[in-house]
Amino acid sequence: MSTRTVPRNKGQGWLHTAGKKIMKHWQLHLLVIPPLLFFVIFKYYPMANAVLAFKDYNVIKGIWGSPWVGLKHFELFFENPLFWTLVKNTILLSGYLLLAGFPIPILLALMINEIRGGRFKRFVQLVSFAPYFISTVVMVSIIMLFLAPRLGFANIALNFFGLNSVNFLGEPGMFRSIYVWSDIWQTAGYSAVIYLAALAGIDPTLYEAAKVDGASRFQKIRHVDLPGIVPTIVIILILNVGNVMAIGFEKVYLLQNPLNIANSEIIATYVYRIGLLNANYSFATAVGLFNSLINLVLLVTVNGLAKRITNNSIW
Amino acid sequence: MAVSAAVPQKIRESAGDRIFLAIVYTVLILVVIVVLYPLIFIISSSISSPAAVTSGRVWLWPVDISFKGFKVLFSTHEIISGYANSIFYTAAGTLISVTLTIMIAYPLSRRAFFGRNALMMIITFTMIFSGGLIPTYMVVRELHLIDTRWALLIPNAIWVWQVIIARSFFQSSIPEELLEASEIDGCSDMRFIRSVVLPLSKPIIAVLVLMYAVGQWNSYFDALIYLKSADLFPLQLVLRSIIIQNNTAGAMDAMAMVERQQMAELLKYALIVVATLPVLVIYPFVQRYFVQGMLVGSVKG
Share of chain B above pLDDT 90, in %: 23
Cβ atoms of A109 and A195 closer than 8 Å:
yes
Report d(CA A8, CA A104) in Å as an integer: 52
The answer to whether the CB atoms of A35 and B214 lie below 8 A apart is no
CB proximity A3 to B under 8 Å: no
Which tens digit of pLDDT belongs to each residue from B133-161? 888 998 999 899 999 999 999 999 999 98
**Which residue type sits at B2?**
A
CB burial of B235-256 (b: ≥16 within 10 Å; e: otherwise) equals bbbbbbbbbbeeebeebbeeee
Q: Give A63 to chain B, closest Cα distance, Å.
A: 9
Collect all residues with Cβ–Cβ distance below 8 Å to B182 and sequence separation of at least 6: B191, B192, B196
| Chain A residues near residue B188 by CB distance under 8 angstroms | 27
Touching B: A residues 101-160, CB under 8 Å: 108, 111-112, 114-115, 120, 123-131, 133-138, 140-142, 144-146, 151, 153, 156
| Most confident listed range (A273-277, B97-101, B236-240) | B97-101
**Which of B56, B114, B217 has the CB atom closest to A18's CB atom?**
B114
Q: State the burial class of residue A24 (Cβ atoms within 10 Å of its Cβ: 0-12, 13-18, 19+).
A: middle
Distance of CA A63 to the CA centre of its chain: 30
- Residue A105 confidence (pLDDT) above 90: yes
Residue B255 is predicted with a pLDDT of: 57
**Which of A38, A46, A190 has the CB atom closest to B131's CB atom?**
A46
Touching B: A residues 74-103, CB under 8 Å: none
- Residue A9 confidence (pLDDT) above 70: no
Least CA distance to A254: which residue of chain B?
B244
The Cβ of residue A247 has, within 10 Å, a number of other Cβ atoms equal to 23
Provide the pLDDT confidence category of residue B248 given band limits of 50, 70 and 90.
low
**Which residue type sits at A49?**
N
Distance of CA B250 to the CA centre of its chain: 28
Among A95, A265, A101, A269, which residue's Cα sits nearest to residue A183?
Answer: A101
Counted residue by residue, chain B has a size of: 301
- Residue A36 confidence (pLDDT) above 90: yes
The angle formed by the CA atoms of residues A72, A76 and A78, to the nearest 5 degrees, is 115
- Residue B299 confidence (pLDDT) above 60: no
Q: Give B253 to chain A, closest Cα distance, Å.
A: 22
| Most confident listed range (A2-16, B15-29, B259-273) | B15-29
Least CA distance to B191: which residue of chain A?
A27
> Mean pLDDT for chain B?
83
Residue B149 is predicted with a pLDDT of: 93
User: Phi/psi zone of residue A187: left (φ > 0), alpha (ψ -120 to 50 degrees), beta?
Assistant: alpha
Whether ipTM > 0.85 holds is no
| Averaged pLDDT, B98-124 | 90
Backbone torsions φ then ψ of A55, nearest 5 degrees: -130, 165
| Averaged pLDDT, A259-282 | 85
Report d(CA B290, CA A300) in Å as an integer: 29
Q: Which of B53, B102, B126, B134 to mutate to test the interface with A (most CBs of A within 10 A)?
A: B134
CA atoms within 13 A on the CB side of A141: 31
Residue B256 is predicted with a pLDDT of: 56
Residue A12 is predicted with a pLDDT of: 65
User: Counting one residue from A and one from B, how many pairs have CB atoms under 8 Å apart?
Assistant: 258
- Residue B3 confidence (pLDDT) above 50: no
DSSP state of A42: I
The angle formed by the CA atoms of residues B196, B202 and B208, to the nearest 5 degrees, is 125
Provide the pLDDT confidence category of residue B1 given band limits of 50, 70 and 90.
very low
Q: Give B54 to chain A, closest Cα distance, Å.
A: 6
Higher confidence at residue A237 or residue B300? A237
- Residue B2 confidence (pLDDT) above 50: no
Residue A16 is predicted with a pLDDT of: 78
Q: Give B232 to chain A, closest Cα distance, Å.
A: 18
Residue A315 is predicted with a pLDDT of: 67
Residue A284 is predicted with a pLDDT of: 87
- Residue B10 confidence (pLDDT) above 80: no
| Most confident listed range (A11-15, B49-53, B274-278) | B274-278
Q: Both ends of chain A: CA-CA distance in Å?
A: 20
| Chain A residues near residue B234 by CB distance under 8 angstroms | none
Q: What is the pTM of this model?
A: 0.84
Cβ atoms of B175 and B196 closer than 8 Å:
no
Residue B249 is predicted with a pLDDT of: 59
Higher confidence at residue B24 or residue B54? B24
Provide the pLDDT confidence category of residue A232 given band limits of 50, 70 and 90.
confident
Residue B103 is predicted with a pLDDT of: 94
Residue A10 is predicted with a pLDDT of: 53
CB proximity A214 to B under 8 Å: yes
| Averaged pLDDT, A52-72 | 83
Report d(CA B37, CA A79) in Å as an integer: 47
- Residue B226 confidence (pLDDT) above 80: yes
Residue A52 is predicted with a pLDDT of: 86
Least CA distance to B53: which residue of chain A?
A151
Question: Torsion over CA of B244, B265, B242 and B97, rounded to 10 degrees?
Answer: 80
Least CA distance to A280: which residue of chain B?
B134
Among B240, B222, B234, B213, which residue's Cα sits nearest to residue B151?
Answer: B222
Which tens digit of pLDDT belongs to each residue from B44-84? 888 887 777 777 777 778 877 777 778 888 888 888 899 99
Residue B97 is predicted with a pLDDT of: 96
| Chain B residues near residue A31 by CB distance under 8 angstroms | 103-104, 106-107
- Residue A2 confidence (pLDDT) above 50: no
- Residue A110 confidence (pLDDT) above 50: yes
Residue B5 is predicted with a pLDDT of: 46
DSSP string over B200-267: HTHHHHHHHHHHHHHHHHH--HHHHHH---GGG--HHHHHIIIIIS---GGGGTTS-HHHHHHHHHHH
| Averaged pLDDT, B178-203 | 84
Report d(CA A274, CA A288) in Å as an integer: 11
Residue spans of alpha helices (H) in B55-159: 68-73, 77-109, 116-128, 133-142, 150-153
CB proximity B28 to A under 8 Å: yes
